Structure 1
């Protein structure tokens, strides 16, 4: 009798959904690199599950273009071109800007305190002698989504998450690489401006601070030449 026959369908569905959510989190936080190939068996062993739910989760992510099949039929994290990155960045600025504007008006005091605490934790890690890139990435993601969740717009939040799943492997390059943005604490400045605007319930200032944060990270990533530049001839600088 196969393992798939031993595990009840409902249980298999639950495991598959859990694996899918874990995969999304790994992609959103940049734990997987563009072009990285994924072995079903290796991933299954790492997650402590059978191959079947891993395959099902990967197939869902392929359908969402968060993963792709390489020419040799292996699963891998997609690479991203300059034009794709710019397009997603433009969409992010609009969608995340809307969520931030709404959050400025609808955040509860408890939610605002959590955002302030996450910002303080991010600042402390950034100010340490040797900032931990993985912790910075996690805190950055938690900070942003604490703001977006405060918008009370669940459908918008789903769209934002879908973009982060697609762009996550490259989005946090500067935080992983120890870039000038870390040395100069650029992200800290934008985050602090955003927090100040949220405290004042100033939706326009909050959106501008959010846009500055996204823009500065995007410009660094483009200048770092970590994107596929095959289509760069079609781009203006």
Structure 2
């Protein structure tokens, strides 16, 4: 994977925080896949920084379980089991439902314009003859967080971001797979219902429309068979190695990307 095409080279002094922000956005936006291997060196080259701030950002992501460091020192985007995915979906329905209810009560005209703009961008892309999966993924995230920011609850927003870090790599599988949900513009329909409810300041309708969007996507992902079966995961668990000390840079000439 060529990270230089997905991220913006960094120039500011707060490099560790900037690296963390860009890596978080890659995960939350679903632009890296479950099971995909990463290396400190590749990330550093893509961002145009040294390995040290990357190492610091990676340790933070390891502690948040957004990345795993396997016993063989391979740094990888974690895979998710069916039960883990369902549990996170249930939590999201509650947290994001609370956020959209509060947003419906507090959103102002400027906020509605931002949400409207994100919705229109997403709708244009999904209605295109050949929609760009990367654009759909990015615009979907932009729309959801434009809504959640209107709740004006920073701690709740942090919790939602933490869940998206864990679920982001698999969350937009239907956009990547060119599913019937994309061809039938299902997400755009849900988004329009959400926007209509927000304009009316109807918190319950907004929450119901959001739940339809989240649950519909989740049901498709489970049915697609792209998650780990719980019994298989129990037999061969993907265990993370303890993140002690500095994560080592990949040794040269090794065939695998190592952390």
Q: Is TM (by shorter chain) over 0.5?
A: yes
Q: Deviations over 1:76-117 (max 9, x none)?
A: 110000000000000000000000000001001011011111
1:65 maps to 2:69: no
Q: Structure 1 stretches of 5 or more lacking a match?
A: 1-10
Q: Which residue pairs with 1:30 in the alignment?
A: 30
Secondary structure, in 3 states, of the residue corresponding to 1:101?
A: helix
Tell me which protein shows more helix as a share of its residues: 1
1:100/1:12 CA distance change after superposition, 3 Å: closer
Matched with 1:153 is 153
Deviation at 1:32, TM superposition (A): 1.1
Contact 2:81 2:233 in 1 (8 A): no
Q: Deviations over 1:46-98 (max 9, x none)?
A: 11011111111111100110001112111111000000000000000000000
User: Which residue of structure 2 lines up, in the alignment, with residue 39 of structure 1?
Assistant: 39
Q: Is the 8 A contact 1:30 1:170 kept in 2?
A: yes
Residue equivalent to 1:180: 180
User: How far did residue 139 of structure 1 move?
Assistant: 0.6
Quote the Cα distance in structure 2 between the aligned partners of 1:69 and 1:232.
20
**How far apart in 2 are the matches of 1:200 and 1:61?**
39
Contact 1:137 1:172 (8 Å CA) reproduced:
yes
Matched, 1:88 2:84: no
Deviations 1:144-185 (A, max 9, x none): 000000001110000000000110000011111111110111
For residues 36 and 13 of structure 1, what CA distance do their matches in structure 2 show?
29
Q: Report if the CA contact (8 A) 2:16-2:53 is conserved.
A: yes
Q: C-alpha root-mean-square deviation of aligned residues, in Å?
A: 1.7
State the distance in 2 between where 1:202 and 1:74 align. 48
**CA distance 1:133–1:85, shift in 2 (3 Å):** same
Residue aligned with 2:230, SS: coil
Q: In structure 2, what is the equivalent of residue 119 of structure 1? A: 119
- Structure 1 runs (4+) greater than 4 angstroms displaced: none
2:98 — aligned with what?
A: 98
- Partners of 2:61 and 2:163 lie apart in 1 by 12
Provide TM-score, normalisation by structure 2: 0.84
Do residues 163 (structure 1) and 181 (structure 2) align? no
State whether residues 175 and 182 of structure 2, in contact with CA within 8 Å, keep that contact through their aligned partners in structure 1: yes
- Residues matched between the structures, number: 224
Deviations 1:169-225 (A, max 9, x none): 000111111111101111011101000000100000000000000000001100111
* Aligned equivalent of 1:220: 220
Question: Hey, what does 1:8 align to over in structure 2?
Answer: none
Counterpart CA distance in 2 for 1:233 and 1:59 is: 24
Call closer, same or farther: CA 1:50–1:128 in 2, change over 3 Å.
Answer: same
Q: Which residue of 2 aligns with 1:193?
A: 193
